[in-house]
Structure 1
Amino acid sequence: MKIEEKVKEIIVSRLKDKAKVKTLTYSTPLLSLGIDSILALSILVEIEEAYDIEIDDSDLNMDKIKDIASFADLVRSCIENE
């Protein structure tokens, strides 16, 4: 499974508003999904567990993880640096 697909799967599993899932693409801004800080943290923990990585706190800003594609890029870079 591609990293983008896994990240999307994890985000979809956590979304309360299932109507937004229908329009979700790899470039959909995560902020538009109504993801608050607690939900974002639970998504992050699940992604870290899924890939057995630890994402550095300095990488956790909405400039770097603005959508699924950029989130997948961050995961990819963590995997490469492990």
Structure 2
Amino acid sequence: MEINKIEEKVKQIITSRMKDQAKIDALQYDTPLLSLGIDSILALSILVEIEEAYDIEIDDSDLNMDKIKDISSFADLVRGYLKK
């Protein structure tokens, strides 16, 4: 899988859950996810959809804002699981 395809898929999943079109339009790969107003319930639904899309199970210890601070870091995390 191409590197940027994972970023695109993560971005697509995140934007499909967002309501604010202005934030969606401004979303870049390095936009801090916390700035999007994603609450814990929304974050969980995004995580579940990403896990299902890639048939992976992300360990709870990896669910911290250092590892999923933006789309690029979230995609890096997914890539790490795809290599296992």
Match of 2:54 in 1: 51
What are the Cα deviations for residues 31-53 of structure 1, in whole angstroms up to 9, with x where unaligned?
A: 00000000000000000000000
Q: Give the percent of matched residue pairs that are identical in Structure 1 and Structure 2.
A: 80
Match of 1:34 in 2: 37
Indicate whether 1:78 and 2:81 are aligned.
yes
4+ residue runs over 3 A deviation = none
TM-score scaled by length of structure 2: 0.94
| Structure 2 spans left out of the alignment, 5+ residues | none
Match of 1:9 in 2: 12
Match of 1:25 in 2: 28
Pairwise CA RMSD: 0.8
**Paired residues, what number?**
81
